[in-house]
Amino acid sequence: MRRCVLAICLVLAACTAEPGPDPTSSTLPPMTSTVDTVPPVASTDAPATTSGATTTTLATSTSTLSLDETTLAYQAVAELDFPVQLTARPGDPLSYVITKDGRVWVFDGSVLAEQPVLDISAQVRNDGEQGLLSMALHSEDVGRFYLHYSDGNGDTVVSEFAFASPTQADPASERVLLQVGQPASNHNGGMLQFLPDGALLLGLGDGGGGGDRFGNGQNPDTLLGGQVALNVDDADPAPAKYSMGLRNPWRFWIDGELTYVADVGQNAFEEISVAPLQAGHNFGWPIAEGLHCFQTDPCDTTGQVIPVHEVGHGDAGTCSITGGIVYRGPAIPQLSGHYFFSDYCGGYLRSLLYADGAATDLRDWTDQVGVPGQVTGFGVDGSGEMYVTTTGQVLKVVPAGG
């Protein structure tokens, strides 16, 4: 096990070019249009809402604490160089942790293995935002998993790998499903997660630079600047644009019939959007940044998904939002349904409850858990319990004193 010695800033952070809109404003600008809207990607019916990757039946806790009586703490479970995600199959005692340098590690709930399950660091460009960015376990086949990484040229690669055993994978088993050229080194997106219908969903940024330099945010004819669905069980994965209008969706989360998307902002605002789990959404970038017009003011956001929550860059060191999971574990049942998120620079722990189309019950848990450093990701284990990754640690969120 190794401590993180990287001194670089993970440039998941927003590009801070020109000053942004007033960070104290929280209202949507006027809707009178001076910008033509781009039709959203053609919508499809929402898939079924049961998924082994996101839904599980868990034991019922006997806790009677209310949310206001709840106290949380971080429990350090592993030290690694730049972990970015923890994932597991529901009910499985083993979890997998990926590090940005291109390695996959197995964690049994108490001990991290001394040797990686897979090491593809020789073919991963680990520089700034580039690296091994996400992992997803096949929702039905325990012998397959998927990685999203930056190759030696900095291009986006999504590949399938095979497990030889739960603790060992074969690097020679790689099957490349998708390769996308990246015009810049930043805004690579990141997250992989399975949809309930068995398709693999990938988040991709707008190609980098600043201010949507390459014009991908509102371009339905590119895979960049949105989410991409892949049919991993077919010989031809047939990548298709699933949503658009995203700047850098480092992390999203699927919870039942909803998707939570944390999109990294440009000048002044980070945003969280919640939408029905279906294709065709337009999340608005670069027409808007958070709840504010970006390119022109006023602007037309008709037909777009409006964020349910934004965080200004003057708030507790905020620079680059790190989403986030919806908690469904048994250990702290009073948190069930609450979405947790952080920030790479701010390092706080906050939550919200999405109800009746709005973000409610906003809470800041930072005074309880502390700031552990630069937060890079979240995850859940096979029991549904929540973990947070920083540039040097994997932390479990537990009831204080529990």
What pLDDT does 214 receive? 97
Q: Which of 394, 382, 386, 373 is nearest to 78 (CA)?
A: 394
Mean of pLDDT values over 334-355: 98
Q: Does 331 fall in a domain? A: yes
Mean of pLDDT values over 264-292: 97
pLDDT band for 62, please (50, 70, 90 cuts).
very low
Mean of pLDDT values over 225-244: 97
Rg (CA), the chain: 20
What pLDDT does 20 receive? 32
What pLDDT does 63 receive? 58
Q: For the domain that residue 254 is a member of, what is the CATH number? A: 2.120.10.30
Q: What percent of the chain stands above pLDDT 70?
A: 84
The yes-or-no verdict on residue 276 having pLDDT over 90 is yes
- The sheet with strand 321-326 has its strands ordered as 321-326, 338-343, 350-355, 358-364
Of 326 and 61, which is predicted with more confidence? 326
Mean of pLDDT values over 31-52: 33
Domain span at 364: 67-399
Mean of pLDDT values over 17-27: 32
HSE-CB of 253 using CA atoms within 13 angstroms? 27
Tell me the C-alpha distance between 377 and 398, whole Å.
Answer: 17
The yes-or-no verdict on residue 389 having pLDDT over 60 is yes
What pLDDT does 238 receive? 95
Mean of pLDDT values over 87-106: 98
Q: Does 19 fall in a domain? A: no
The yes-or-no verdict on residue 258 having pLDDT over 90 is yes
Task: Please name the amino acid found at residue 154.
Answer: G
Q: Does 177 fall in a domain? A: yes
What are 74's strand-pairing partners?
397
The yes-or-no verdict on residue 188 having pLDDT over 60 is yes
What pLDDT does 353 receive? 98
The yes-or-no verdict on residue 340 having pLDDT over 50 is yes
What pLDDT does 290 receive? 97
Output the CA angle 126-130-134, nearest 5 degrees.
100
| Residue 137 CA from chain centroid, whole number | 15
* Total number of domains in the chain: 1
What pLDDT does 65 receive? 84
Q: Does 4 fall in a domain? A: no
Given a contact cutoff of 8 angstroms between Cβ atoms, the answer to whether 253 and 326 are in contact is: yes
Q: List CB contacts of 178: < 8 A, sequence separation 6 or more.
A: 156, 157, 158, 202, 228, 230, 237, 239
The pTM of the full predicted model, rounded to 2 decimals, is 0.85
The yes-or-no verdict on residue 12 having pLDDT over 90 is no
- Please, what's the largest Cα pairwise distance for the chain? 59
Q: Does 59 fall in a domain? A: no
What mean pLDDT, rounded, does the chain reach?
87
Tell me the C-alpha distance between 308 and 355, whole Å.
Answer: 10
What pLDDT does 401 receive? 73
Q: Does 230 fall in a domain? A: yes
Q: Does 350 fall in a domain? A: yes
Model confidence over 131-185: pLDDT tens digits? Answer: 999 999 999 999 999 999 999 999 999 999 999 999 999 999 999 999 999 999 9
Q: Does 40 fall in a domain? A: no
